[in-house]
Amino acid sequence: MSAQRSAHQISTSRRRVGLWLIGALGGVGTTVAVGLSAWRRGLIDATGLVTALPLFRELDLDAPEAFVLGGHDIRQTTWQQTALELHQRAGIFSSELLAGCREDLEAWSANIRPGTLLHVGETIAALADLPNLPCHETPRQAIQRVQQDLQNFRQTHQLDQVVVVNVASTEPPFSTTEVHQSWPRLAERLAERRTDALLPASSIYALATIELGWPYVNFTPSLGASFPAAIQFAEQQGAAVAGQDGKTGETLLKTVLAPMFAHRHLRVLSWVGHNIFGNRDGLVLNDPRNKESKIRTKDQVLAHILGYKPQTLVSIEYIESLDDWKTAWDHIHFQGFLGVKMILQFIWQGCDSILAAPLVIDLARLALLAQRRGEKGILRHLACFFKNPMGVQEHDFFRQFAMLENYVTSAIGQPTRSAQPHN
């Protein structure tokens, strides 16, 4: 099957697409692989997938059978192994489900390639156990190696399109400077061999994808494509980008409940959120530098929705025994009529990977569609999926979802263009 056929010739059922996961072998990446395999084999229904709602029925989204998976990681393991570990440690996936998905997991694990550790910080670097991970590459060399892996994946599997989604560990915050404001200026510096950080790994993957003109989604709080030079470059290359940091649990509830207080004219005095969880993500976030990135994206939503900043506290603590199960306890102190103070408390107990994985599949399907529609730059209609949506100041979940509904309504029946270019 030629990858250069026009989209008009490719019916939805015959299209073949790739989902390339950065951080493929983590909890979220593994659950995406198990979930897509189980869905395509009819072992599960589509509960949890937003794009399986009736709203999306008439959109030309890729069916689960169209997907081939691959990705980058820095650890030496396989999807069969990481799925088994999640099953044993966190009690998710039944043995029967894993047996049913084994063949896909084995085949897809062969597509995983060594990633880059460029400026990821000590805590993430300590996770790496792959022998011969290159550690002295310039940013340009790392970008080219990533692109070679992406191109090989596409050619080997004869894919019409590939979307890249970052589900790797959260990097410490990265301070951008003048050079990150303009693509031509940044491009000049990529070949320099330097000891200080020009770009973190998340942005290496993002720029590699954008340069190919392929869609890129950042499900993490790491920098990725969230700076002016990368967005300019995406527009220039015709690449669609979206991010950042998936909105799956406590923050989702914040952006659902805060509009209620705003619309009832109840004044939020303070909002305290304590989060406890285990798993590898929790271990990485236990480093105060990495945690800072997460707290920034979780803490900013209230002021935007309420129009003022109540006192807030967000804590994230690593409790090993909880593994992939997160508990959030939120205490909301608010004031009503005649100055009377009241309290709302909630406890959220969610399984992190199970909440995140279907959204990654949704984002992959919607980003692939956007590229076929010729959309480039930031995909603002995907804001409801993120804690810190790129290019959008709106944090109210219902308004964000209305943006997605409007997009779907306008996209139904519209023609899509050819498969992505070969660079």
Based on the shown chain and the rule CB under 6 A, indicate whether residue 252 belongs to the binding site for ligand NAD: no
120 binds ligand NAD (CB under 6 A): yes
Q: How far is CA 334 from the centre of its chain?
A: 33
237: amino acid identity, one letter: Q
CA distance 214 to 309: 38
Dist. CA 380–CA 400, nearest whole Å? 9
Question: CB of residue 355 vs ligand NAD: minimum separation in angstroms?
Answer: 5
CA dist., res. 116 & res. 118, Å (int)? 6
Under the criterion CB under 6 A, does residue 381 sit at the interface with ligand NAD?
no
Binding mask 71-90 for ligand NAD (x = CB under 6 A): -xxxx---------------
Which residues have a Cβ under 8 Å from the Cβ of 117 and sit 6 or more positions away? 74, 124, 125, 128, 133, 135, 201
> Considering only residues 29-58, where is the footprint of ligand NAD by CB under 6 A?
29
Task: Report phi then psi at 378, rounded to 5.
Answer: -75, 135
User: Which of 27, 64, 278, 377 touches ligand NAD (CB under 6 A)?
Assistant: 27
| Burial of 1 from C-beta contacts in 10 A (0-12 / 13-18 / 19+) | exposed
Minimum CB separation of residue 314 from ligand NAD in Å reads 14
Q: Which is nearer to ligand NAD, 28 or 206 (CB)?
A: 28
Q: Residue 279 or residue 416: which is nearer to ligand NAD going by CB?
A: 279
- Between the CA atoms of 389, 393, 397 and 401, what dihedral angle is there, to the nearest 10 degrees? -80
Shortest Å distance, C-beta 211 to ligand NAD: 18
Alpha-carbon span 34 to 378, nearest angstrom: 29
Which of 51, 248, 371, 388 is in the footprint of ligand NAD by CB under 6 A?
248
Q: Which stretch binds ligand NAD (CB under 6 A): 26-34, 229-237, 375-383, 399-407?
A: 26-34
Length of the chain equals 423
Nearer to ligand NAD, 330 or 352 (CB): 352
Q: Is 299 in the site for ligand NAD (CB under 6 A)?
A: no
**Six-digit token string for 308:** 């003022």
- Tokens found for residue 58: 């008439």
Position 219 contacts ligand NAD (CB under 6 A) = yes
**In 3D, which of 218, 194, 191 has the Cα closest to residue 206?**
218
In sequence order, the β-bridge partners of residue 311 are: 270
- Binding part of the chain for ligand NAD, among 62-70, 156-164, 168-176, 184-192 by CB under 6 A, reads 168-176
Q: Is 362 a binder of ligand NAD (CB under 6 A)?
A: no
Using the Cα atoms of residue 150, residue 155, residue 157 and residue 161 in order, give the sign of their dihedral. positive
Any bridge partners for residue 365, and if so which?
Answer: none
Two structure tokens written together for 198: 């020009």
Q: In 3-state terms, what secondary structure has residue 399?
A: helix
Specify the residue, 115 or 377, whose C-beta has the smaller distance to ligand NAD.
115
Q: Could you tell me the smallest distance in angstroms from the CB atom of residue 414 to ligand NAD? A: 31
Instruction: Indicate whether 395 belongs to the interface with ligand NAD (CB under 6 A).
Output: no
Contact flag: residue 117 with ligand NAD (CB under 6 A): yes
Closer residue to ligand NAD (CB): 17 or 117: 117
Question: 173 to 212, contacts with ligand NAD by CB under 6 A?
Answer: 201
Nearer to ligand NAD, 33 or 38 (CB): 33
Query: What value, to the nearest 5°, has the Cα angle with vertex 318 and ends 35 and 224?
Result: 60
Q: Report the residue number whose CB is nearest to ligand NAD.
A: 26
Check binding of 130 to ligand NAD (CB under 6 A). no
Judged by CB under 6 A, the residue of 279, 388, 400, 416 near ligand NAD is 279
- Give exposure, 117-145, as e/b (b: 16+ Cβ within 10 Å): bbbbbebbeebbeeeeeeeebbbbbbbeb
Minimum CB distance to ligand NAD, residue 20 (Å): 11
- CA gap 73, 128 in Å, rounded: 9
148-167 mask for ligand NAD (x: CB under 6 A)? -------------------x
* Binding residues vs ligand NAD (CB under 6 A): 22-23, 25-29, 72-75, 115-117, 120, 124, 127, 167-170, 201, 219-220, 245-246, 248-249, 279-281, 284, 352-353, 355-356
